[in-house]
Structure 1
């Protein structure tokens, strides 16, 4: 009986210990449940919106053109004896580009010089005969008719000398023309005729040359712009033809680094297109401009105004709507729809939706997952425009 009690006692003690262990494990599990940790607000770069002075510009499409351009043709016929340039190089005015076989023209010059010498010898003889004849006529030793004949022979000899002089000059010109020279400084194209080929005077194209500095840019202004410019000119709010233009090439995204001056306005509007041709002169010391390049031209369109400008990178797109994130009073990223205006050197005119003093998210908008999300703003300097200009969004087709 005592043995049974001892066994039951040990069993009861083990049961109590097992229950206590389960209780401790349960309590430990409850204590290990951690509180959720709040995620840190993302850091975004913001800039304060300011109002800046801008001048309105109109934007047009244009083409770069050389001031001087020529298809070089020979003035005399002959076989090409030498090509004296490297294709694609820049050449100077007067530089020899082609040499046409000069031998026939040297012989022609020598022949003309010989005829001139003969004519001069004839004149010397006729002069002496006329002098003697006039003396004999005065002594009645020679008839007046014979004296007149001698005078006429002298006059004819003088005319022959003049003709021979002209022939020599022509022969010398033809010989000089065998050296085909650059009529102006510029960039030369490829050689259309090479060594041994026959060049026909005034027909065969030898090569082409285009001048390099300065260059023209041609563009077409629409009627509305022309009328507005004329009205502003009448009010004294813009100069005459000599207006400043800013020009950007295809790789100048959003910028217009080149500056030129309008020097020509056509005398009539093209009724088929409703546009008028305008030309500006651009310096080209670095040879960025090449004839035929597409160009975007900004032409001053009005007086100076003040506008809200922000970096174009801050503008976000939601289907057909544009918006920006601004920082609210509790450092919340609030969405504001905006109306875009003209673009200027990477900055964007905001026609509606923002006011001076608003803090706009410039970098880090991809970290904002929903409007009202808490962020940590980091203030950076507001971008400024490079020039007080603004251009319209839609260019006029050339």
Structure 2
């Protein structure tokens, strides 16, 4: 009996094994299935997120306008004061005496004026009959001096009355009063450098937001070229240090016109209602300014990535193959990149199973949805029999 050569036996076994259904294509992997969403160009709000710092709309340092001893403190610290509310009382004895003297001088000057008016009238009537023109001129000069003396006395009385009134120190604005820096019995002087207290107006509050000058130039360029349509009114919202969104919406008070030489930023001020006094002067905040709308695509941040140079890119499926495209972004909106270039309306944007994609590789697509937080709600199918073949993306209209 002849023996079969070993190599021929192995060849026959291999041919028999490959003839079994399913083994002939066992080495081929099916195309990866990816979750995709169809992107469309739309009007997207253009919102700038900027750092900000709260400043008081009014902050008055209370200083005395006259000197003397403090006899009373007329307010309670950390209380809301109305404009004109009394805060301190200075010993008024000297100023009452000054007012009495000034009133006496007014009375004396008024009597002298009456006498001068009578003398001038009599002298003028006797002109030509025992009275010379020189005497008439002298009487007229005396009358003018008496009038001037009365005006000076009345001015001195007004000043004396004002100084007496100033012995009661009042708040020039409405706001919250600080702790007094002086005590009863302390001696203060007029217009001293040290404040006796401060009054700060907290409602409304103002917030300075700092925008880099380069970004400001970019925004101006978008406006001039029609890529950005400005809103009729520029408004802003705030995020507190706790991450909470502040309830009130702010209105623009004054745009910035100078660039800081130290930070390179432009300071823009907004005003917010602050009835609960949650925002205090000096507090750091994050502001969002709604400028208007721009024509763009919204790409969930989970579907795009940046390289070392900062270039943003994403995967799209075109003609059944994965293509990595470079994107031009212009900020973010609700966990999405605002993409102004790199996509076409109708593109299938890959949002799930991105790690399996390679440039030019065939893929199968599964339509999915993405919620407002950028989370994929329907995962891509794991096996090809559940997936649908990729369709070519329609061309942009």
Please, which of 335, 358, 373 is the counterpart of residue 368 of structure 2?
358
| Distance change in 2, residues 1:143/1:361 (3 Å) | closer
Structure 2: distance between partners of 1:67 and 1:243: 20
Q: Following superposition of structure 1 onto structure 2, how do residues 292-307 of structure 1 map, counting pairs within 5 Å?
A: 292-300=282-290, 303=294, 305-307=296-298
- Cα shift readout 1:224-277 (whole Å, capped 9, x = no counterpart): 220122123324634489521111110125x45442122212222234422111
Q: In structure 1, the residue corresponding to 2:113 is in which secondary structure?
A: helix
Would you say the 8 A contact 2:60–2:173 is kept in 1? no
Structure 1: distance between partners of 2:111 and 2:44: 82
1:185 matched to 2:195: no
- Cα shift readout 1:142-188 (whole Å, capped 9, x = no counterpart): 23322322221111111100000100111111111112111111111
For the pair shown, the structure with the greater C-alpha radius of gyration is 1
Structure 2: distance between partners of 1:288 and 1:242: 25
Give me the CA root mean square deviation: 3.5
**Aligned counterpart, 1:212:** 202
Structure 2: distance between partners of 1:207 and 1:105: 23
1:230 matched to 2:220: yes
Residue segments in structure 1 that go unaligned for 5+ positions in a row? 1-48, 313-340, 366-371, 373-398
Q: In structure 2, the residue corresponding to 1:214 is in which secondary structure?
A: strand
1:108 matched to 2:98: yes
Q: In structure 2, the residue corresponding to 1:145 is in which secondary structure?
A: helix
| Distance change in 2, residues 1:360/1:223 (3 Å) | closer
1:66 matched to 2:56: yes
Would you say the 8 A contact 2:241–2:285 is kept in 1? yes
Instruction: Report the structure, 1 or 2, having the larger helix content.
Output: 1
1:151 matched to 2:140: yes
Would you say the 8 A contact 1:260–1:282 is kept in 2? yes
Structure 2: distance between partners of 1:130 and 1:279: 66
**Aligned counterpart, 2:266:** 276
Greater Cα shift, 217-226 or 106-115: 217-226
Residue segments in structure 2 that go unaligned for 5+ positions in a row? 1-36, 303-329, 340-348, 353-365, 376-381, 383-397
| Distance change in 2, residues 1:361/1:182 (3 Å) | closer
Structure 1: distance between partners of 2:331 and 2:230: 23
Q: In structure 1, the residue corresponding to 2:237 is in which secondary structure?
A: strand
Q: In structure 1, the residue corresponding to 2:127 is in which secondary structure?
A: helix
Q: In structure 2, the residue corresponding to 1:195 is in which secondary structure?
A: coil
Structure 1: distance between partners of 2:233 and 2:215: 16
**Aligned counterpart, 1:171:** 160
**Aligned counterpart, 1:24:** none
| Distance change in 2, residues 1:256/1:142 (3 Å) | closer
Q: Following superposition of structure 1 onto structure 2, how do residues 314-333 of structure 1 map, counting pairs within 5 Å?
A: none
TM norm structure 1: 0.64
Structure 2: distance between partners of 1:156 and 1:287: 59
- Cα shift readout 1:191-237 (whole Å, capped 9, x = no counterpart): 11121111211114111111122111012111222012212332463
- Name the count of aligned residue pairs: 288
Please, which of 331, 336, 343 is the counterpart of residue 349 of structure 1?
336
**Aligned counterpart, 2:110:** 120
Q: Following superposition of structure 1 onto structure 2, how do residues 17-96 of structure 1 map, counting pairs within 5 Å?
A: 54-96=44-86
TM norm structure 2: 0.64
Shift of 1:69: 1.1
| Distance change in 2, residues 1:291/1:191 (3 Å) | same
- Cα shift readout 1:111-142 (whole Å, capped 9, x = no counterpart): 00000000001111111111111122232x12
Would you say the 8 A contact 1:241–1:262 is kept in 2? no
